Chains A and B, each alone.
Chain A
């Protein structure tokens, strides 16, 4: 049903009080009309940092209001929000972490009434043109328009072997092939990358049986990163602020660079116009893992939030302004010309995450 706000107001003015009352009773059962009638329920909960910009986007706020909803969302790490007794002790009404395995973990600590994946974002590696091109020349990556694909196994091997760029035949690049992610015990992008790496090292989805053999190398991979920030936002900010010298390769979500470009088109124009080869680029690991963004309803009203988030309006804001793919990984209908060609329509090589008990063992080893 599409009735604009103005139309309803108009109806009220023209139809007199009885008509208004009658309409109100009728429309109250339609979730998309509640807010129009002025009834707004505020839901309190936790969300991963990568979704805060979407949650705070005025378009999102307006769209939710039409559903009679407002969000009081506090930023919390995905792993923390589903298991930290302190956070759960505040009786949140919803949780919005960033990966499916965490739903299972949440069920161990809270009563989840309903859960639904709202968005999807593959895990990617951000780098800079000279390094990406170096990886292409070294036979580890290939370019496809404005983005790249990288052989995830070869990348991890090079990082573990502490290969210098010179050893990869790239004489003009300094230093070693160095990669960092968030702390897997605190934030989801590191958690997901740990799962992906475990799969790659195991040669298949890591299981209780194969895990012991891969743990030493997995530990070495994460230990070698040194200090790991506790949020994907911080890793991405450091990447942007530090540049290619400080952060040659970082693990992130596909939508982060998109969101950054769209947030300030003038800034992006300056990046495009700048002399010098170092431009930010996205490397899609093959295979990668999908970071789903499941919304967990812990109280009945939060079920309405799930319905609202699944509506075409909110799905479209998620893609158009923030680069989040839909629940099935599909791209939205309308793409901003600024980011054209930066995201493949389909992510073909997707690996499932190891199950949550395996992941918990991995977290323990990496703590």
Chain B
């Protein structure tokens, strides 16, 4: 950040017709803080400071701080201090203060909650497990290794499964019975994501499409935002289930990242933090359904029709030391999560020749390198099923494998053998991918996804939309753009299939990593 004076100088330069860089204060926040961007921006504007807020998953914020060099950001605002405890080993984040908090709870479609007999009753994790086992309930939940709300739900499951729900006993991680219970609970995951804010949008789009999901693990406050949106369009609300065993709170701490910016940046940070913790702003934050600290603001009024009450005392789970939590997250990724069924369409058309081909191969190298993948907690396991489909105008070949080390090496070999040539038809690849996945989809054991990486334009292919609608089994089709890809085609597919497009133009490896967080 530069001072207001510098901002004025920059503005003057702009007026003079020079494209001068602008003053900048850079914040990286969890997606659930997006709600407060107008409040932050208004404050920045009042100080003549241009603020940029990027939204990242909790793990990404952690990994960013873990590196050898301090990241080029001025402040972080993750969902929970848990991730800083695990990853900020250099203690780069200073002056952390919680801005607001929200417990992670289960929102269940009212009709479903009624059917399960949960209205007005205490619901325990065992009740949720029973409903999942009987095939009566599935839910959306973010990836426990990538996003805080999923991690919170998962840690609560683990604590409850060990029979001591008020704390996560480290022994739970090695207890076969607790593991089996959590594994069964996680079979209930119908869709996952790397972001809690995006999960809310996913739920809303399922309602818009007329096929609402049963339920969603998310923050109490994000369930309120979801229900506010549903109320506006007359949709069926999500009933708030506060697990009677206990839950995990997100404390949304805002902290300063020291990287030699100087006193102005720190002074601006202090002012911003004080502003967000002022009585007026805390009242606004509370009105969004967040819980604010003692004496800060009056909580939002209860909404009895969906059991929402931010004044309710919800017991939290005592979490263990950071290293135990880190081990629990690895356990999720390697043993307990619902296995992935992933088909990856890779564009090897002529336009990928040269640098494109090199970058693509490097990205896949990272994706299928067990130790690099493990660092980002996206490692595969032998339970996963993977298809690699290199394509140009046609699908060149289909390579099938699992997440074992040998199988990953073989899949990677298949990619390395390709060389770029020919036309582009991603639709043909998507259709083939669905066909190959079919027998696995039928088992209901996997969390499926198709990922299409392309740098070009495909011939319009209306037929594919029809195929997906009639026989797509709700498989999301994620896009990774590259080169001069026409993002509109991928966007359209992603919208139809309720998936998401990742921009691989800046960093293809990063884009593949992100997409793994959704599967």
The answer, yes or no, to whether B503 is at the interface (CB within 8 Å) is no
Give every chain B residue within 8 A of A238 (Cβ-Cβ). 98, 251
Interface hits, A163-185 → B, CB 8 Å: 173-176, 178, 180
Q: Tell me whether B249 and A227 are in contact (CB under 8 A).
A: no
The answer, yes or no, to whether B8 is at the interface (CB within 8 Å) is no
Known: A175-B246, A226-B319, A227-B322. A240 touches B164 (CB 8 A): no
The answer, yes or no, to whether B291 is at the interface (CB within 8 Å) is yes
Known: A174-B244, A242-B316. A271 touches B294 (CB 8 A): yes
Interface hits, A248-290 → B, CB 8 Å: 248, 264, 266-268, 270-271, 274, 276, 278, 280
Q: How long is the Cα–Cα vector from A234 to B293 in the complex, in angstroms?
A: 14
Give every chain A residue within 8 A of B101 (Cβ-Cβ). 241-243, 246
Known: A226-B318, A226-B320, A237-B97. A245 touches B311 (CB 8 A): no
Q: How long is the Cα–Cα vector from A241 to B291 in the complex, in angstroms?
A: 9
25 A-B pairs within 8 Å (CB atoms) are namely A130-B313, A162-B166, A174-B313, A178-B167, A178-B315, A226-B168, A226-B318, A226-B321, A227-B318, A238-B98, A240-B293, A241-B98, A242-B101, A244-B313, A245-B103, A245-B312, A245-B313, A246-B316, A248-B315, A267-B279, A267-B295, A268-B295, A270-B297, A274-B298, A278-B313
Q: How long is the Cα–Cα vector from A278 to B294 in the complex, in angstroms?
A: 9
Give every chain A residue within 8 A of B246 (Cβ-Cβ). 175
The answer, yes or no, to whether A225 is at the interface (CB within 8 Å) is yes
Give every chain A residue within 8 A of B295 (Cβ-Cβ). 240, 264, 267-268, 270-271, 274
Shortest C-beta distance, B367 to chain A (Å), equals 33
The answer, yes or no, to whether A224 is at the interface (CB within 8 Å) is yes
Q: How long is the Cα–Cα vector from A225 to B168 in the complex, in angstroms?
A: 10
Q: How long is the Cα–Cα vector from A176 to B249 in the complex, in angstroms?
A: 17
For the complex with contacts A175-B166, A178-B166, A178-B167, 18 further pairs of A-B residues with Cβ separation under 8 Å are A174-B314, A175-B315, A176-B315, A178-B318, A180-B318, A227-B85, A227-B318, A227-B320, A240-B294, A241-B98, A242-B251, A243-B313, A244-B313, A245-B249, A245-B313, A245-B316, A267-B296, A270-B279
Residue on A nearest B244 in the bound complex, by CB:
A174
Q: Tell me whether B294 and A280 are in contact (CB under 8 A).
A: yes
Q: How large is the interface on A (under 10, 10 to 19, 20 to 34, 35 or more residues)?
A: 20 to 34
Shortest C-beta distance, A236 to chain B (Å), equals 11
Give every chain B residue within 8 A of A248 (Cβ-Cβ). 315
Q: How long is the Cα–Cα vector from A266 to B278 in the complex, in angstroms?
A: 11
Give every chain A residue within 8 A of B251 (Cβ-Cβ). 238, 241-242
Q: How long is the Cα–Cα vector from A237 to B85 in the complex, in angstroms?
A: 16
Q: Tell me whether B293 and A241 are in contact (CB under 8 A).
A: yes
Q: Tell me whether B291 and A243 are in contact (CB under 8 A).
A: yes
Shortest C-beta distance, A110 to chain B (Å), equals 25
Shortest C-beta distance, A287 to chain B (Å), equals 26
Query: Which of A242, A266, A278 has the most chain B CB within a 10 Å cutoff?
Result: A242
Give every chain B residue within 8 A of A264 (Cβ-Cβ). 295
Return the CB mask of A6-45 against B: 1 if under 8 Å, else 0: 0000000000000000000000000000000000000000
Give every chain B residue within 8 A of A237 (Cβ-Cβ). 97-98
Q: Tell me whether A162 and B249 are in contact (CB under 8 A).
A: no
Q: Tell me whether B313 and A242 are in contact (CB under 8 A).
A: no
Interface hits, B62-112 → A, CB 8 Å: 85, 97-98, 101, 103
Interface hits, B293-344 → A, CB 8 Å: 293-298, 311-316, 318-322
Query: Which of A226, A264, A278 has the most chain B CB within a 10 Å cutoff?
Result: A226
Q: Tell me whether A224 and B167 are in contact (CB under 8 A).
A: yes
- The residue that B321 contacts in the complex, of A180, A227, A267, A268, with Cβ under 8 A, is A227
Q: Tell me whether B294 and A245 are in contact (CB under 8 A).
A: no
Residue on A nearest B291 in the bound complex, by CB:
A243
Residue on B nearest A128 in the bound complex, by CB:
B313
Residue on B nearest A247 in the bound complex, by CB:
B316
Give every chain B residue within 8 A of A174 (Cβ-Cβ). 244, 313-315
Give every chain B residue within 8 A of A178 (Cβ-Cβ). 166-167, 315, 318
Shortest C-beta distance, A227 to chain B (Å), equals 5
Give every chain B residue within 8 A of A130 (Cβ-Cβ). 313
- The residue that B314 contacts in the complex, of A226, A227, A245, A271, with Cβ under 8 A, is A245
Q: How long is the Cα–Cα vector from A243 to B312 in the complex, in angstroms?
A: 10
Q: Tell me whether A225 and B318 are in contact (CB under 8 A).
A: yes
The 10 lowest CB-CB distance pairs between A and B, nearest first, are A175-B315, A226-B318, A271-B295, A267-B295, A241-B98, A241-B293, A246-B316, A176-B166, A245-B314, A245-B313
Give every chain B residue within 8 A of A274 (Cβ-Cβ). 295, 298
Give every chain B residue within 8 A of A271 (Cβ-Cβ). 294-295
Q: Tell me whether B315 and A242 are in contact (CB under 8 A).
A: no
Shortest C-beta distance, A350 to chain B (Å), equals 29
Q: How long is the Cα–Cα vector from A238 to B249 in the complex, in angstroms?
A: 11
Q: How long is the Cα–Cα vector from A274 to B291 in the complex, in angstroms?
A: 14
Q: Tell me whether B164 and A162 are in contact (CB under 8 A).
A: yes
- The residue that A276 contacts in the complex, of B166, B311, B316, B322, with Cβ under 8 A, is B311
Shortest C-beta distance, B488 to chain A (Å), equals 45
Give every chain A residue within 8 A of B97 (Cβ-Cβ). 237
Q: How long is the Cα–Cα vector from A243 to B297 in the complex, in angstroms?
A: 13
Q: How long is the Cα–Cα vector from A162 to B318 in the complex, in angstroms?
A: 12
Shortest C-beta distance, B285 to chain A (Å), equals 13
Residue on A nearest B322 in the bound complex, by CB:
A227
Shortest C-beta distance, B9 to chain A (Å), equals 34
Q: How long is the Cα–Cα vector from A162 to B249 in the complex, in angstroms?
A: 21
Q: How long is the Cα–Cα vector from A247 to B318 in the complex, in angstroms?
A: 9
Give every chain B residue within 8 A of A266 (Cβ-Cβ). 279
Residue on A nearest B82 in the bound complex, by CB:
A227
Give every chain A residue within 8 A of B320 (Cβ-Cβ). 226-227
Shortest C-beta distance, A131 to chain B (Å), equals 9
Return the CB mask of B441-480 against A: 1 if under 8 Å, else 0: 0000000000000000000000000000000000000000
Q: How long is the Cα–Cα vector from A325 to B505 in the complex, in angstroms?
A: 63
Give every chain A residue within 8 A of B291 (Cβ-Cβ). 243
Known: A226-B319, A227-B320. A243 touches B166 (CB 8 A): no
Return the CB mask of B189-225 against A: 1 if under 8 Å, else 0: 0000000000000000000000000000000000000
Q: How long is the Cα–Cα vector from A199 to B313 in the complex, in angstroms?
A: 33
Shortest C-beta distance, B193 to chain A (Å), equals 26
Interface hits, B239-261 → A, CB 8 Å: 244, 246, 249, 251
Residue on A nearest B159 in the bound complex, by CB:
A226
Give every chain B residue within 8 A of A180 (Cβ-Cβ). 318
Q: Tell me whether A227 and B313 are in contact (CB under 8 A).
A: no
Return the CB mask of A144-175 against B: 1 if under 8 Å, else 0: 00000000000000000010000000000111
- The residue that A242 contacts in the complex, of B164, B249, B312, with Cβ under 8 A, is B249
Residue on B nearest A267 in the bound complex, by CB:
B295
Shortest C-beta distance, B290 to chain A (Å), equals 11
Q: How long is the Cα–Cα vector from A274 to B311 in the complex, in angstroms?
A: 11
Q: How long is the Cα–Cα vector from A242 to B85 in the complex, in angstroms?
A: 17
Give every chain A residue within 8 A of B293 (Cβ-Cβ). 240-241, 243
Q: How long is the Cα–Cα vector from A280 to B295 in the complex, in angstroms?
A: 10
Give every chain A residue within 8 A of B103 (Cβ-Cβ). 245
Give every chain B residue within 8 A of A226 (Cβ-Cβ). 167-168, 318-321
Q: Tell me whether A243 and B294 are in contact (CB under 8 A).
A: yes
Query: Which of B97, B249, B294 has the most chain A CB within a 10 Å cutoff?
Result: B294
Shortest C-beta distance, B340 to chain A (Å), equals 31
Shortest C-beta distance, A261 to chain B (Å), equals 9
Query: Which of B246, B319, B322 has the most chain A CB within a 10 Å cutoff?
Result: B246
Query: Which of B279, B293, B321 has the most chain A CB within a 10 Å cutoff?
Result: B293
Give every chain A residue within 8 A of B164 (Cβ-Cβ). 162
Give every chain A residue within 8 A of B167 (Cβ-Cβ). 178, 224, 226
